Amino acid sequence: MMKDNKKVIYWLLTGCALIFIMVIVGGITRLTHSGLSISNYKLISGTIPPLNDVEWNNAFDLYKQYPEYQKINKGMSLEDFKDIYFWEWIHRVIGRFIGVVFFIPFMYFLLTKQLTKATIRKSILLMVMGGFQGFLGWYMVSSGLVDRPDVSHYRLAMHLTTAFLTFAYTFWVALDLWFPNRKEVSISFRNLIRASAAVLILQIIWGAFVAGLDAGWVHNHWPLMSDGQFIHDSVTIEQTPVWRNFVEGKSGVQFIHRTLAYIVVAFIGLIWYKSKKLTTTVLQKRGVNILVALVGIQFVLGVLTLLWQVPVILGVLHQVTAFVLLAAMTFTLHRFTK
């Protein structure tokens, strides 16, 4: 039987699609403040939601024991609890489903000898990344169950960034199988795309910091911050020493996210400009053009999300477009690498 066949590619792309859905639901979970509604972790039985009044009341009583209910949602009705419970539950169920979709087909392909040794190694790494992502999810939630009724923004950033990187690597492995033939590439141009990808990942990390600190609800102005300032006074005074403002202060984190947005746009603009001087294939040209279009859309979404104080729909669209932009960056880098 032919190794690394189309079925293997479809399997990997299915994994990509599921991670995409997972990120969407994760964004909704965060923006609706649903992430701490399930305060325990049960790998198997946790896939079944409460099915009757007794089970719902037990789940609600458990939630009442933790800081989010006691300090923020005291007096919440059972019906309101069900709403936030749903998003966290579906987020966890999709995570488990992704694990099944990766593991069972992998074992089938492995036992039927449909994978090359290189793909086996890559697939094992993917499953390790997926398992680590699941661990980070609970590690993040657990940070909001003691004293402070909110998750650590550092852990949120790790959880989100790992999801993005797991997707990007899954997509890369699928592209390796989709385009097995190597070609001559421009090393300097490839390195420019690599640098752009690194800056984009940094921007994703600081976007997670913004989400984790609710920093999108301050300085809801553009192109300047509050009071007509490019760097608002509050950027450097929330935390001490000064450097902590840029990773833990709402104003400082938002300032970095704003600034990185311009840098990402500049890098992708440079990719587009330099690509005009190269002889490119149809797919290479398409990848660059999609990058330019997506970064423009993402920039506008970011501005609107800020100006309108993070409505759920715009917040989710902004996160989803970041995901698609990373996919386009991965595709473009692959086309100029192999």
Given a cut of 80, is residue 147 above it in pLDDT?
Answer: no
User: Which of 27-41, 55-69, 205-219 is the most confident on average?
Assistant: 205-219
Contact 25, 87 (CB under 8 A): yes
Band of pLDDT at residue 38, cut at 50, 70 and 90: confident
Compute the distance between CA of residue 214 and CA of residue 233 in angstroms, rounded to an integer. Answer: 19
Residue 45 has pLDDT above 70, yes or no: no
| Identity at 4, one-letter amino acid code | D
For residues 155-193, b (16+ Cβ closer than 10 Å) or e, as one string?
bbbbbbbbbbebbbbbbbbbbbbeeeeeeeebeebeebb
53-107 pLDDT, tens per residue? Answer: 899 999 899 989 888 888 888 888 999 999 989 999 999 999 999 999 999 999 9
The band of 120, judged by pLDDT with boundaries at 50, 70 and 90, is very high
Cis peptide before 223 (omega within 30 of 0): yes
What length is written for the chain? 338
Per-residue pLDDT, 279: 87
Looking at residue 3, its pLDDT comes to 67
Sign of CA dihedral 53, 55, 57, 59: negative
Least confident of 42-46, 127-131, 189-193, 216-220: 42-46
pLDDT at 1 over 60: no
Q: Is the pLDDT of residue 132 over 80?
A: yes
Using an 8 Å Cβ cutoff, are 27 and 316 in contact? yes
For residues 254 and 274, the answer to whether their CB atoms sit within 8 Å is: no
- Residue 185's pLDDT band (boundaries 50, 70, 90)? confident
| Burial class of residue 263 (count of CB atoms within 10 Å of its CB; 0-12, 13-18, 19+) | middle
pLDDT at 66: 87
The pLDDT assigned to 298 comes to: 97
d(CA 226, CA 232): 7
Angle at 316 between CA 310 and CA 321, to 5 degrees: 115
Residue 37 has pLDDT above 80, yes or no: yes
Mean pLDDT of 247-271: 97
CB 175 within 8 A of CB 331: yes
How far from 132 is each of 76, 80, 150, 161, 333, CA to CA, in Å?
Answer: 33, 31, 21, 12, 25
Distance from C-alpha of 292 to C-alpha of 311, rounded to nearest angstrom: 25
pLDDT band of 2, cuts 50, 70, 90: low
Beta-carbon contacts of residue 119 (< 8 Å; ≥ 6 apart): 3, 4, 8, 173, 177
Mean pLDDT of the chain: 91
**231 with 266: CB under 8 angstroms?**
no
Average pLDDT over residues 295-315: 95
For the chain, state the CA radius of gyration.
22
Structure-model confidence comparison of residues 140 and 191, the more confident one = 191
User: What is the distance between the alpha carbons of residues 164 and 24, in angstroms, rounded to a whole number?
Assistant: 12
**Residue 160, pLDDT score:** 92
Task: Round to whole Å and give the CA distance between 155 and 161.
Answer: 10
137-141, 186-190, 262-266, 315-319: which is most confident: 262-266
pLDDT given at position 233: 93
Q: Please classify residue 48 by burial: count the beta carbons closer than 10 Å to its beta carbon, then call 0-12 exposed, 13-18 middle and 19+ buried.
A: exposed
Write the Ramachandran bin of 256: left for phi over 0, alpha for psi from -120 to 50, otherwise beta. alpha
